[in-house]
Amino acid sequence: MTDAQEPVRALALGDIVPNPNQPRRHFDPTSLAELAASIREHGVLQPLVVRPGSNGNHELVAGERRWRAAKSAGLTEIPVVVLILTDRQAMEVALIENLQRSDLRPLETALGLKQLG
């Protein structure tokens, strides 16, 4: 795996193909619509992780919800980090991104929204 300090760059959404071994199988349409609305308003806040694919494209490793929502929001490019990964490393990154996530508790969400005024 290459250094985690790889630069973020913009990549055309059409140059990214989904990972056929993506561990997430269900993408809730309502949640994707909400994410697309957020992306329209704020942009993509966290870059996707991709790896070089065949035919000059890039295979998505982490961030398929953001990729789908960005397409729905009408974006043509998205921020990415390109890493050189084996199939095993790509699966590890995909799993880690989903398993290491810790959503805010309802009280934390409420306090954050209160601070926004």
6 an active-site residue? no
From the candidates 64, 77, 92, 97, give the one annotated as an active-site residue. 64
Residue linked to tokens 């880690």? 96
Taking the CA atoms of residue 102, residue 104, residue 39 and residue 68 in that order, the dihedral angle to the nearest 10 degrees is 40
Any residues with CB less than 8 A from the CB of 108 and at least 6 apart, and which? none
Q: What is the largest CA-CA distance in the chain?
A: 49
> Which residues have a catalytic role annotated?
64
